[in-house]
Amino acid sequence: MKIKKAIVDTTLRDGEQSPYIALRPEDKLKIASLLDRLKVYEIEAGTPCIGRLERDSIAKIIENRKHSLISVWSRMRKEDVRESIACSPDIIHIGAPVSYVQIYHKLKKNKSWVQKSILECVEVAKKGGVKVTVGFEDASRADIGFMINMAMMLEKAGVTTIRLADTVGVLTPNRTHEIVKELHEHTRVPIEIHVHNDLGMAAANSMEGAKAGAEYIDCTLFGIGERSGNCNFYQYIKASEAIFEYAMTKQQINEVEKEVKHLLLH
């Protein structure tokens, strides 16, 4: 029997960071309705702190969905989390830096600050009545011991999913498998895998993450996204449907991409 896996589509959030891609609110609503028709488990609809136009677009998507959960992305700032709550999404995804490069060199902070800040943000979201997932940003370059401690701490705080983000696109299939497996051995929090395609291995890394136990796989239509893009939805399903069960087929994804193509090229 095939193991069921769920797709988190981030075309409307990470995908829009692709060069030359700029989606109008009506485009986003159309794409979201097509993804909803595919019964994608979760649609990451945008980032509320960007501004009113983004929040209005997210509200329309939430209003019109029938099957999929709708999530929004938030920085690790209480103010941003409150703006996300105001959109009434099903899930708020909060990004938290976990690599020492990001914590110490980019942000000039320390591990204690990260732990304190993420717990405060999770508390704000939970008080707002919204499910919370936390993204481990730059997980591919982070210390596994620190990530395990963070995951155990967040599990106690009621976080429903940990997203492992290969923020700079340097993961390999073997390393992806190792990270997911080690986290699964120390925590019961479901794992989501989010990879970039800088080395051309996004689909392979996602598949290895799924094999190691990741329940949720992040994808974008056509593999669009920041720099070299994200895991290609169609390619990933085609490569893995022999061993995993999904709510959609590669043929159905292909039909959706035909309808979306002209929106991305307008």
9-40 pLDDT tens trace? 999 999 999 988 889 999 999 999 999 999 99
pLDDT at position 176 over 70 = yes
Domains of the chain in start order, with CATH, are 3-264 (3.20.20.70)
What's the rounded mean pLDDT across residues 183-194? 96
Q: How confident is the model at residue 265 (pLDDT cuts 50, 70, 90)?
A: low
**Is-contact 139 99, C-beta < 8 A?**
yes
Burial class (CB in 10 A: 0-12, 13-18, 19+), 133: buried
What is the token pair recorded at 234? 């169609």
72-110 pLDDT tens trace? 999 999 999 999 999 999 999 999 999 999 999 999 999
Q: How many residues does the chain have?
A: 266
pLDDT at position 266 over 70 = no
* Residue 59, CA distances (Å) to 86, 121, 169 in order: 10, 22, 31
110-151 pLDDT tens trace? 999 999 999 999 999 999 999 999 999 999 999 999 999 999
